[in-house]
């Protein structure tokens, strides 16, 4: 492979490619791709690489992770030019591992949109087809990794915001267990749902990044006091996968179903009971709307006109949720989690389902001018991600093919709490036998 930018993190480390060569390769890719995809907000070396397992690996991150003295805009007009005073715990972990940060990445306003539209900073565009969505809210993270502008990126996932960009752009994205990675120094949206995780080119690369950022942190009240396994050493473990074939066949677009069921043949499978996606997603939406609207209450009172129209509408809807309804959804969470782990995962390690059950749509069809059909289409896009956040469990997304429009199709594996190692191992095994994750969009 002649272009160093097309290596994975693991390959760059194994080949001992110099940090200078990696950085130069990424700079060339950014120069080529940024005018087409609008993935970057800033292009500067915010942190030079140091010593450690990720020494010199060029990364860039969603523009919501704080670094002292540096601007963090959070995809918004309200925080445009805001200078952070503290260091994000996740960035701190990557710094310790020796990674370099070479920019900040576009995102949906305040991380509250599943498509990548942004009225303030311009829409992020899909490198496979610029007229299509990148997925949100970690839109720039998905697009930049797919275009090989960086080797990996951090995103946040409250209802699918790591997994949707991973699916739409054909990269690997990991949504961690609630509490696995500290949220300290990162923009909050919904404290009962927010998680932070990596987007990268492979499961192995996600394991390397997760190793650097996972662990207990007293600065995050919900940070788990649970031992961090060796994710890289666990990549060769055997994993049994649960699947509901008939649900996929009956509820997914035919092209999606075909690609998913073909990919499933690579795993050790067992038929299992389908989770109640409808009810779980509804509970997640109640929690997300309530907590996000509370988070933004002060600005909504004083600066509502400075929000984009879509974000403002979502926040306004949260004020209509009765407190009793919100509290009931939180109360039922443990019951639903026990049901998922005992029934769906009773005889397996992870559950196999599409990441997005329809082909990746266009920006026009899902944006402000999308018309009366836009809400239904958005619901189709997010249908299989929100339920995971409600349960607080981990999930991983990876490409398994392309549709007739040339857009990626992705699988999603969902596991038990703190079973990220099993999910990474399953996808790593799949990626050793396939090359979908190595496909690169044409420049």
Determine whether 258 is an active site residue.
no
Q: DSSP of 213-237, one letter per residue?
A: HBS--TTSTT----PPP-TTGGGG-
In contact, 129 and 150? CB cutoff 8 Å: no
Cα–Cα distance measured from residue 417 to residue 422, given in angstroms and rounded to the nearest whole number: 11
Q: What is the DSSP letter of 120?
A: T
**Rounded Cα distance, 179 and 196, in Å:** 9
DSSP 236: G
At a CB cut-off of 8 Å and minimum separation 6, what does 413 contact? 241, 350, 351, 352, 395, 396, 423, 426, 427
Give the orientation angle of helix 89-96 with respect to helix 203-213, to 10 degrees.
Answer: 110
Please indicate whether residue 62 is annotated as part of the active site: yes
Nearest alpha-carbon partner for 351 in 251, 273, 256: 273
* Identified catalytic residue from 108, 139, 161, 223: 161
Burial pattern 243-271, b for ≥16 Cβ within 10 A else e, equals: bbeebbeebbbebbbbbbbebbebbeeee
Is 2 a catalytic site residue?
no
CA distance 392 to 386: 10
- Locate 341 and state its tokens: 């782990």
Choice among 76, 88, 108, 137 that is catalytic: 137
Cα–Cα distance between 131 and 314 in angstroms, integer? 24
φ/ψ of 332, rounded to 5, equals: -80, -10
Which residues are 30's β-sheet partners? none
- Please identify which residue in the block is written with the tokens 């130069």: 24
Distance in angstroms (rounded) separating the CA atoms of residues 369 and 298 = 29
Classify each residue of 417-440 as buried b or exposed e, where b means 16 or more C-beta atoms within 10 Å of its C-beta.
bbbbbbbbbbbbbbbeeeebbeeb
> Phi and psi dihedrals of 199, rounded to 5?
-120, 130
Q: On the CB side of 100, how many CA atoms lie within 13 Å of its CA?
A: 23
Q: Which residues pair with 197 in a beta bridge?
A: 155
Active-site residues: which are they? 62, 137, 161
């Amino acid at each position: 492979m002649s272009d160093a930018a097309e290596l994975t993190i693991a390959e760059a480390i194994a080949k001992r490619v110099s940090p200078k060569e990696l950085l130069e390769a990424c700079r060339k890719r950014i120069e080529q791709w940024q005018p087409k995809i609008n993935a970057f907000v800033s292009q500067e070396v915010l942190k030079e690489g140091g010593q450690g397992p990720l020494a010199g690996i060029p990364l860039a991150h969603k523009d919501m992770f704080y670094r002292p003295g540096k601007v963090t805009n959070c995809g918004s007009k309200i925080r445009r030019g805001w200078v952070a005073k503290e260091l994000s715990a996740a960035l701190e972990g990557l710094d310790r591992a020796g990674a370099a940060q070479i920019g900040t990445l576009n995102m949906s306003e305040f991380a509250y949109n599943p498509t990548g539209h942004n009225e303030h900073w311009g829409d992020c565009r899909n490198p496979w087809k610029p007229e299509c969505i990148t997925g949100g809210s970690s839109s720039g993270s998905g697009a930049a990794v797919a275009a090989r502008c960086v080797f990996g990126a951090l995103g946040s996932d409250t209802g699918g915001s790591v997994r949707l960009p991973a699916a739409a752009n054909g990269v690997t994205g990991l949504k961690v267990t609630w509490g696995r990675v500290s949220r300290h120094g990162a923009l909050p949206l919904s404290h009962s749902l927010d998680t932070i995780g990596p987007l990268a080119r492979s499961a192995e690369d996600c394991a390397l990044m997760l190793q650097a950022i996972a662990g207990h942190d007293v600065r995050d009240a919900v940070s788990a006091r649970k031992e961090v396994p060796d994710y890289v050493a666990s990549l060769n473990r055997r994993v049994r996968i649960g699947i509901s074939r008939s649900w996929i066949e009956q509820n997914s677009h035919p092209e999606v179903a075909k690609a998913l069921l073909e990919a499933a043949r690579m795993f050790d499978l067992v038929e299992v009971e389908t989770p109640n996606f409808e009810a779980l997603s509804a509970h997640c939406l109640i929690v997300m709307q309530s907590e996000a609207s509370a988070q933004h209450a002060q600005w909504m009172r004083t600066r509502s006109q400075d929000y984009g129209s879509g974000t403002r509408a979502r926040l306004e809807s949260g004020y209509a949720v009765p407190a009793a309804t919100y509290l009931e959804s939180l109360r039922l969470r443990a019951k639903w989690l026990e049901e998922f782990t005992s029934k769906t995962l009773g005889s397996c390690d992870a559950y196999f389902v599409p990441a997005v059950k329809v082909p990746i749509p266009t920006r026009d069809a899902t944006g402000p001018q999308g018309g009366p059909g836009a809400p239904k289409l958005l619901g189709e896009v997010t249908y299989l991600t929100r339920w995971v956040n409600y349960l607080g469990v981990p999930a991983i997304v990876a490409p398994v093919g392309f549709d007739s429009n040339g857009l990626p199709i992705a699988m999603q594996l969902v596991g038990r709490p703190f079973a990220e190692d099993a999910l990474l191992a399953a996808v790593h095994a799949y990626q050793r036998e396939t090359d979908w994750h190595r496909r690169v969009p044409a420049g």
